[in-house]
């Protein structure tokens, strides 16, 4: 079960003294997902966390909250956070771009330090002539390279040196980027989290999907839809969301549609070709 929690502030004006703090609880269900929505109506005094705890119970360490809600450090409450769906959206976006753009000779680099995206590697080889994998788990990818060569005749290059990024056209990095990559300005990065360091080129990291209407109706008004989708995917058992392709995505400055992102990639490659 998913548990969402919010505090409604009613603690201004003279009439606040005529009301007591109270808790509303609503249950919602859809497919395999169930949601308990707990709302604390705060009129006066301190927040009664002991009262709240009667309804949150075991969900306190992964409760869904709006970003502006501050959970006391000593309350035992932890906000639900995850990037699993966002990382999957990054992978799906890469496959969509490669399949749709159909650009021959595209230099594609997959960054997978921990070896978590070995399965993605096979799908990527269906859409690019040569895939380079930058990883710290070269033994895992060496075995995958042998398998793909024998089974599909596909070739991947496995390396540890970031120098392979200098002439890359498309960089796929599902995990967080914690340092600036040595990419040229005409490259494009697809990543599953907002980079913690500035990048020298376009870095797309925020993905939006058209959440099915039945799940939009399940989502409380105080939660962001993509945050709620992440919870449905990770804790709600709605794994079908992992096959969705973004409808829009952002790089921190520009919001792209599927078509505009394909055009952006093509224009970057054309600029690159013209520079030689």
Average pLDDT over residues 50-75: 90
- pLDDT band at residue 12 using 50, 70 and 90 as cut-offs: low
pLDDT of residue 101: 87
Q: Is the pLDDT of residue 170 over 80?
A: yes
* Residue ranges of domains in the chain, CATH in brackets: 2-62 (no CATH), 84-208+245-275 (3.40.50)
Q: How do residues 123-142 score in pLDDT, each as one tens digit?
A: 999 998 889 999 999 999 99
DSSP β-ladder status, 206-208 and 108-111: unpaired
Q: What is the mean pLDDT of residues 88-109?
A: 92
pLDDT in the model for residue 44: 75
For residue 126, what are the CA distances in angstroms to 21, 192, 208, 269?
A: 59, 21, 25, 20
Cα–Cα distances (Å) from 17 to 35, 48, 51, 129, in that order, read 32, 16, 20, 71
Q: Mean of the pLDDT values across residues 74-97? A: 94
Write the pLDDT tens digit of every residue in 212-264.
999 999 999 999 999 999 999 999 999 999 999 999 999 999 999 999 999 98
The percentage of the chain sitting over the pLDDT mark of 90, rounded to a whole number, equals 72
pTM recorded for the entire structure? 0.90
**Segments of 68-220 assigned E as strands:** 108-111, 131-134, 156-159, 170-173, 188-191, 202-204, 206-208
pLDDT of residue 3: 96
Beta carbons of 249 and 93 less than 8 angstroms apart: yes
Burial code (b: 16+ CB inside 10 Å, e: under 16) for 49-70 equals beebeebbeebbebbbbbeeee
Mean pLDDT of 167-182: 95
- The confidence score (pLDDT) of residue 18 equals 59
User: Is the pLDDT higher at 101 or at 195?
Assistant: 195
Residue 48 has pLDDT above 70, yes or no: yes
Pull the structure tokens for residue 158. 């496995």
Does position 275 have pLDDT exceeding 80, yes or no? no
Q: What is the pLDDT of the chain when averaged over all its residues?
A: 91
User: How far does Cα 96 stand from its chain's mean position?
Assistant: 16
For residue 63, is pLDDT > 90? yes
Q: What tokens does 197 get?
A: 């360091």
Give me the pLDDT at residue 78, please. 94
């Amino acid at each position: 079960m998913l548990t969402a929690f919010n505090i409604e502030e009613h603690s201004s004006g003279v009439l606040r003294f005529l009301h007591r703090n109270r808790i509303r609880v609503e249950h919602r269900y859809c497919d395999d997902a169930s949601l308990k929505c707990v709302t604390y109506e705060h009129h006066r005094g301190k927040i009664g966390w002991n009262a709240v705890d009667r309804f949150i119970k075991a969900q306190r360490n992964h409760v869904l909250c709006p970003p502006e809600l501050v959970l006391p450090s000593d309350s035992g409450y932890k906000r639900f956070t995850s990037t699993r769906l966002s990382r999957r959206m990054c992978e799906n976006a890469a496959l969509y771009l490669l399949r749709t753009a159909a650009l021959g000779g595209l230099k594609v680099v997959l960054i997978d330090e921990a070896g978590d995206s070995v399965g993605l590697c096979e799908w990527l080889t269906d859409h690019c002539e040569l895939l380079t994998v930058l990883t710290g788990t070269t033994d895992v990818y060496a075995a995958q390279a042998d398998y793909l060569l024998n089974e599909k005749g596909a070739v991947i290059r496995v390396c540890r040196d970031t120098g392979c990024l200098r002439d890359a056209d498309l960089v796929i990095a599902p995990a967080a980027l914690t340092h600036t990559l040595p990419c040229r300005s005409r490259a494009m990065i697809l990543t599953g989290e907002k980079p913690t360091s500035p990048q020298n080129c376009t870095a797309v990291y925020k993905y939006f999907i058209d959440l099915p209407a039945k799940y939009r109706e399940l989502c409380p008004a105080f939660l962001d839809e993509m945050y709620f989708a992440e919870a449905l995917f990770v804790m709600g058992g709605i794994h079908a969301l992992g096959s969705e392709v973004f409808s829009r995505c952002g790089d921190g400055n520009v919001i792209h549609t599927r078509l505009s992102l394909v055009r952006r990639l093509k224009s970057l490659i054309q600029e690159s070709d013209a520079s030689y």
